[in-house]
Amino acid sequence: MFERLQSLDERYERLNELLSDPEVISDSNKLREYSKEQADMEETVQVYREYKTVMDQYQDAKEMLEDKLDDEMYAMVKEEIDELATRKEDLEAKLKVLLLPKDPNDDKNVIVEIRGAAGGDEAQLFAADLYKMYARYAEAQGWKIEVIEASSTELGGYKEIIFSVNGKGAYSKLKYENGAHRVQRVPQTESGGRIHTSTATVAVLPEAEEVEVDIHEKDIRVDTFASSGPGGQSVNTTMSAVRLTHLPTGIVVSCQDEKSQIKNKEKAMKVLRARIYDKFQQEAQAEYDQTRKSAVGTGDRSERIRTYNFPQSRVTDHRIGLTLQKLEQILQGKLDEIIESLIVHEQAELMKQQED
C-alpha cells in the first residue's frame, strides 16, 4: 500500500511540473487531462503526506521515551504518543478507503428518469414525490436541476419525468437511487381507508461527453410533432416537440419541454447520449456479474431497493437492511443518512474483496 502511495506522491509532483510547462499550457487537451489526473489524486496525496508527518512525530516521541525524563515529562510524552497512535490508525483507515477502485463516472453530472410503474394514478403521484425529494436533495448539495421532459397527469403526478442534475459528485451519490421504489399508503382517491402498494422506477445515468459516445447523424431519425399536455391535449400548434430514434440501438428519446425545436433537440440529444453510454456500460458490466452483485447500486433497475411506508412513517432500504423512522424528513430531501450508509457498505464490500 505504501509503495503505491509513494508512487502517487511522486506522480503528483511530476504533474505540478507538467502543469507549469508552456507546451502543456498551450495544449488544452493535455492541460485538461493532467489537471483532472492531479485533482483525482489530490486528496489521497494530502492524506498520505499528513500520515508521513504523524509517523515522524510518533517515532520522535517514542525515541524521547528512551531518554531520562522526569515523571511529568514522561506522562506528557506518553499522552502525545497515544494521541498520535490514534491519529495514525485513523489516517491508515482513510488511506485504505481512498485507494479503493473508483467508479470513473463518480464526478459526472447525471440524467435522472423517474416513471410511475405499478399502481396507476397513485404510482404517478409517488413519482412526483420522488422528483421533489431529489430536487430538494440536489438544492441542499448545491447542484443545479433542469427538467428535460415531463409527462404530467391531471392529478399532479408524473407518468415520466426526466431531468439533469449538474454538480460535483452528483453521480457518486445519486447512483445508489437506481431501482424500483415502493410506497405503502392510503391514496387520496381511496374512500375506504385501505393501504395500497405502488411503485415508481428510478434510473440514474451518468451524463456522457460527446467524445465518449460517437453518434453519427446518419444513425439518428428525427421526428417533430406538436407538444401535448396532461391527458394528451395539444398545447402548442407549432411542431416544436422532437423525437430522436437511434437506429443501431433502437433507443428513442422525446422532448417537448421547450417552445423551441432547437432547444428540445439539444435536450433530447443529451438524454440520448447518456442512454447509449449507459447501455454500453451495462453490457460491459454484465461480464463482471460477481462484481455487480457485490457492489451496492449497480444492480438490476427492476429490483426493489426501498420502501416508503406512510402509516408507520418509516423508510427501509432493502439492500443494506437499513430502516429509519424519518419518512417526512427523507421526502423533504434529507437523504444523507441513507446514501452515506450505502457508500460505507459498498466500501466495506470492496475491502473484503481485496482481502480475499
**324 and 183 within one domain:** yes
**312 and 202 within one domain:** yes
Last residue of a domain, one of 230, 249, 283: 283
Q: What is the mean pLDDT of the chain?
A: 85
Greater pLDDT, 259 or 290: 259
CATH number of the structural domain spanning residue 255:
3.30.160.20
| Structural domain includes residue 288 | no
Span between the terminal Cα atoms of the chain, in Å: 16
Last residue of a domain, one of 259, 283, 307: 283
| C-alpha dist (Å) from residue 280 to 202, 208, 213 | 19, 11, 10
| Structural domain includes residue 290 | no
**142 and 46 within one domain:** no
Mean pLDDT for 167-189 is 90
Strands 196-206 and 110-116: antiparallel
| Structural domain includes residue 43 | yes
Greater pLDDT, 138 or 154: 138
Give whichever of 96-105, 127-136, 285-294, 295-304 has the largest mean pLDDT. 127-136
Domain that holds residue 72: 2-98
| Structural domain includes residue 266 | yes
Percent of the chain, pLDDT > 90?
Answer: 44
| Structural domain includes residue 346 | yes
**332 and 196 within one domain:** yes
Residue 199 has pLDDT above 80, yes or no: yes
Phi-psi region of 260 (alpha: psi -120 to 50; beta: other; left: phi over 0): beta
| Structural domain includes residue 104 | no
Last residue of a domain, one of 98, 133, 150: 98
**115 and 171 within one domain:** yes
pLDDT at 117: 85
Q: Please classify residue 238 by burial: count the beta carbons closer than 10 Å to its beta carbon, then call 0-12 exposed, 13-18 middle and 19+ buried.
A: exposed
One-character DSSP codes across 25-49: HT-HHHHHHHHHHHHHHHHHHHHHH
**117 and 186 within one domain:** yes
Long-range CB contact pairs, 303-307, < 8 A, 24+: 303/179, 303/180, 304/179, 304/180, 304/181, 304/182, 304/199, 305/177, 305/178, 305/179, 305/180, 305/181, 306/179, 306/181, 306/182, 306/338, 307/181, 307/182, 307/183, 307/184
**177 and 36 within one domain:** no
Residue 356 has pLDDT above 80, yes or no: no
**261 and 229 within one domain:** yes
CATH number of the structural domain spanning residue 128:
3.30.70.1660
**195 and 231 within one domain:** no
Residue 85 has pLDDT above 50, yes or no: yes
Residue 130 has pLDDT above 50, yes or no: yes
Point out the least confidently predicted range of 77-91, 131-145, 261-275. Answer: 261-275
CA dist 199 and 302 (Å) reads: 10
**201 and 117 within one domain:** yes
**308 and 272 within one domain:** no
pLDDT at 291: 40
CB 34 within 8 A of CB 19: yes
Residue 300 has pLDDT above 70, yes or no: no
| Structural domain includes residue 289 | no
Residue that the C-alpha cell 395500497 belongs to: 196
**162 and 275 within one domain:** no
Structural domains counted in the chain: 3
CA dist 202 and 110 (Å) reads: 12
Confidence of residue 118 (pLDDT cuts 50, 70, 90): confident
| Structural domain includes residue 321 | yes
Mean pLDDT for 181-186 is 92
Greater pLDDT, 257 or 338: 338
